[in-house]
Amino acid sequence: MRRAFALLVGAAWWVSASAAERVHGEDHDFAAPGVRILWGVAKGRTEDDTRVVLRILSPDGVFSHAALEGHDPFSKARRTLIARRSIDQRLDLETPRAGFADLPSREVHLYRDGAEPVLVVYYLGAPDTTPEFASVEALRAYFDRAETLPRRR
């Protein structure tokens, strides 16, 4: 009986140790130890051409990889939008804004070296404060400037 209890406690510890920390991103400029996430919109000629871009920064290499998932909190539908990619200090993840109609919530999964994410930053939609730009080039220029500045509060 003691052995079964010890195995159960050990299994519970392993499950809780492997579960990623979940943090609500809330704003278009999110920061946590080892990571910064910037949001922006590059407007297209039509809504189908409009892109939402997340720039993920991990300049100290705390996080090695990131992935992006979309989900619908009502239907519970969930889909990988961008599979795990190397951050290499910075990574831009781009999706169509029209995709928010079907999968309005977003989760950025951040990895160190393992197979499971250690941090999940979730958003209940594109943040209201997300800036919009007339082109992808203007958005990337904004990201480049924002990277050098402290996070705005």
56-93 pLDDT, tens per residue?
999 999 999 999 999 999 999 999 999 999 999 899 99
Query: Which are the contacts of 153, defined by CB distance < 8 A and separation ≥ 6?
Result: none
- 58 three-state secondary structure: coil
* Beta-sheet pairing, 105-111 with 119-123: antiparallel
Report the CATH number that the domain containing residue 30 is assigned in CATH: 2.60.40
As given in the structure block, the two tokens for residue 111 are 């990895």
Is residue 41 situated within a structural domain?
yes
Is residue 153 situated within a structural domain?
no
Q: Tens digits of per-residue pLDDT, 2-44? A: 443 333 333 333 333 458 999 999 899 999 999 999 999 999 9
Is residue 9 situated within a structural domain?
no
Is residue 11 situated within a structural domain?
no
Q: Tens digits of per-residue pLDDT, 101-120? A: 999 999 999 999 888 999 99
Is residue 8 situated within a structural domain?
no
- Give the span between the Cα atoms of 103 and 105, in whole angstroms: 6
Which pLDDT does position 36 carry in this prediction? 96
Q: What is the DSSP letter of 150?
A: P
Which pLDDT does position 3 carry in this prediction? 44
Between 123 and 17, residue with greater pLDDT = 123
CA–chain centroid gap for 62, Å, is 15
Which pLDDT does position 15 carry in this prediction? 38
If one counts every other C-beta atom within 10 angstroms of the C-beta of residue 153, the result is 6
As given in the structure block, the two tokens for residue 110 are 């951040």
Cα dihedral 75/77/81/84 (nearest 10): 130
What letter represents residue 153's amino acid?
A: R
Which pLDDT does position 1 carry in this prediction? 47
Question: Domain range spanning residue 129?
Answer: 20-148
How many domains, in total, are found in the chain? 1
Is residue 36 situated within a structural domain?
yes
Is residue 115 situated within a structural domain?
yes
Is residue 51 situated within a structural domain?
yes
